[in-house]
Chains A and B, each alone.
Chain A
Amino acid sequence: MSERPEDYRYTKTHEWVAPAENGTVKIGITDHAQSSLGDLVFVELPEVGASFNAGDQIAVVESVKAASDIYSPVAGEVARVNDALEDAPEQVNEDPFGEGWLFELKLESADAADSLLGADEYKQVADADD
């Protein structure tokens, strides 16, 4: 049921990375992640301009049920954040791979996302989680 864009990359901690455009990537959480969390009520996003290493805690999504740390899948500098989520965190539930993106990172190295999971590999991670 969970849709997983084929050209995205994924992490074991349920973040996705969209294909790079001009050296920046959009990052969000997967459909599986939003479904496990339930209705999101707050999203805490990083500051534009801040730098993070891969694996750093970079954002928080909080649902009625629980708060969950988001880890940066790749190293980079925050280029843009999805401000709309401040008033409409439900966008993450409604469209996790699209309108519900969290932030954009300017990649430190262009191929940083290549080592992440492909859609099929991530499916196995998500299925094992159920």
Chain B
Amino acid sequence: MLQQTPLYDEHLSLGAKLVDFAGWEMPINYGSQIAEHNAVREHAGVFDVSHMTVVDIRGEGSRDFLRHVLANDIAKADADGKAIYTCMLNTHGGVVDDLIVFHVTGNWYRLVVNAATTEKDMAWLQSQVRDFDASVTRRDDLVIIAAQGPAARELVQQNLGSEFGERAMKLKPFEVAVDGDWTVGRTGYTGEDGFEIALPDHAAVEFWRQLVNSGATPVGLGARDTLRLEGGLNLYGQDMDEDHSPLISGLGWTVAFEPEDRDFVGREALLLERAQGVESKIVGVLLEGRGVLRTGAAVRAVADDQVTDPDADDVPGRITSGSYAPTLGRSIGFARIPANWDAGWVDIGVRGKWQSARVVKTPFVRKGKIRVDIDSKSG
């Protein structure tokens, strides 16, 4: 039996096409995924992301606990209202999950974790919290609505009430405002400005309708994926997982090795991995021709005649996330390749044939602007 969010009936009445996403019946689109994608880049989109889980950490020891269990250092967010993005690692340095931690106020921290990993995350957090004076509480009574796009913050402000709305508008990126059980964070997963709002489930329908009536386009998980990919943002389970550490997944910048005396879970394993030299890395790729890069596609060095079959099991690289990029009108992806490859081009298997793709710096798109040269041609 699939779970439904409190906004399920809203999705149905908006004509959503629903899919099973990590056990949740969620909108993949409301008609056109590309139109939804463009709405976020150009104006504002609203997403029901209530399949993700809010976890509150409270108590005297909450800061010490988070400094232990997270690879980024929550001490960077000691001021009330700050947030950080981080991985939560296992002792082998593999990624249990990636998440945003909001320092709501005082000893109250709020994590937002992925849907597919929620049970595992809860078990891991509970097992790690034992030695700390802190509580880990899953907030299934909250929903999460994201409003993203250049006009999104204003639309949210209009519907928050004047005092809370004003505080929300003053937030800088990666800051959070709180009002009762509501938190508004200036964060997102699209490469655009915007807010992610956690709120009580009984208020969900009214707030959602207000945002839609204010002109925010309802956006499904299909466009969420192409937006985050263009935004150069990793997806847990594809671009990193328990077998792929942050150091080889483009997330080295999220690991705080300093200060040296902070003994976080996974630290030793990552130090060893770093000392031995990493084996692979993730790079952005832009397909030169037509066609669409698909997740799992084979990657080889340009014209490497030792690697002939794009459908073989043993290929040197793989696309970890690939799709069509509506803002670029081209296909893009993340490729996991050997760490020592530094060529500007690779070959990627597209429907049984090798096609040329350029290695590019991510993000592909940021705040509505294309950040890669889409016209450059291979020799």
Give residues in A with beta carbon < 8 Å to B: 35, 38-39, 41-42, 44, 60, 62, 64-65, 67, 90, 93
Q: Is B172 an interface residue (CB 8 A)?
A: no
In the complex, chain B residues whose CB is within 8 Å of the CB of A90: 32, 34
Q: Check B351–A38 contact: CB distance below 8 A.
A: no
In the complex, chain B residues whose CB is within 8 Å of the CB of A65: 222
> Which of B35, B292, B294, B326 has most A Cβ within 10 Å?
B292
In the complex, chain A residues whose CB is within 8 Å of the CB of B120: none
Q: Is B183 an interface residue (CB 8 A)?
A: no
Count of A-B residue pairs with CB < 8 Å:
35
Q: Check B290–A38 contact: CB distance below 8 A.
A: no
Cα distance A64–B225 in the bound complex, in angstroms? 10
Q: Is B345 an interface residue (CB 8 A)?
A: no
Given known A-B contacts A64-B323, A64-B324, A67-B351, A42 and B292 have beta carbons under 8 A apart: yes
Other than the known A39-B32, A62-B291, what 10 A-B pairs have Cβ atoms closer than 8 Å?
A: A38-B29, A38-B222, A42-B291, A60-B351, A62-B292, A64-B33, A64-B292, A67-B292, A67-B351, A93-B32
Q: Is B321 an interface residue (CB 8 A)?
A: no
Cα distance A71–B291 in the bound complex, in angstroms? 19
Cα distance A21–B226 in the bound complex, in angstroms? 42
Binary contact readout B288-299 vs A (1 if CB under 8 angstroms, 0 otherwise): 001110100000
In the complex, chain A residues whose CB is within 8 Å of the CB of B35: 39
In the complex, chain A residues whose CB is within 8 Å of the CB of B32: 39, 90, 93
In the complex, chain A residues whose CB is within 8 Å of the CB of B222: 38, 64-65
In the complex, chain A residues whose CB is within 8 Å of the CB of B226: 64
In the complex, chain B residues whose CB is within 8 Å of the CB of A41: 34, 292, 324
In the complex, chain B residues whose CB is within 8 Å of the CB of A39: 32-35
Give residues in B with beta carbon < 8 Å to A: 17, 28-29, 32-35, 222, 226, 290-292, 294, 323-324, 326, 351
Cα distance A90–B29 in the bound complex, in angstroms? 15
Cα distance A41–B29 in the bound complex, in angstroms? 16
Cα distance A62–B34 in the bound complex, in angstroms? 14
Closest to A43 in B: B290
Complex A-B: 29 CB contacts under 8 Å: A35-B17, A38-B28, A38-B29, A38-B33, A38-B222, A39-B32, A39-B33, A39-B34, A39-B35, A41-B324, A42-B290, A42-B291, A42-B292, A44-B290, A60-B351, A62-B291, A62-B292, A64-B33, A64-B34, A64-B222, A64-B226, A64-B292, A64-B324, A64-B326, A65-B222, A67-B291, A67-B351, A90-B32, A90-B34
Nearest CB of A to B152, in Å: 22
Nearest CB of B to A50, in Å: 19
Cα distance A36–B33 in the bound complex, in angstroms? 12
Cα distance A65–B351 in the bound complex, in angstroms? 14
Cα distance A41–B323 in the bound complex, in angstroms? 11
Nearest CB of B to A70, in Å: 13
Nearest CB of B to A79, in Å: 24
Cα distance A36–B292 in the bound complex, in angstroms? 17
Closest to A44 in B: B290
In the complex, chain B residues whose CB is within 8 Å of the CB of A35: 17
Cα distance A64–B291 in the bound complex, in angstroms? 10
Closest to A87 in B: B329
Nearest CB of B to A15, in Å: 19
> Which of A38, A39, A90 has most B Cβ within 10 Å?
A39
In the complex, chain A residues whose CB is within 8 Å of the CB of B324: 41, 64
In the complex, chain B residues whose CB is within 8 Å of the CB of A60: 351
Cα distance A67–B29 in the bound complex, in angstroms? 18
Q: What 6 pairs across the A-B complex have the smallest Cβ distances?
A: A39-B34, A41-B324, A64-B324, A39-B33, A42-B290, A62-B292
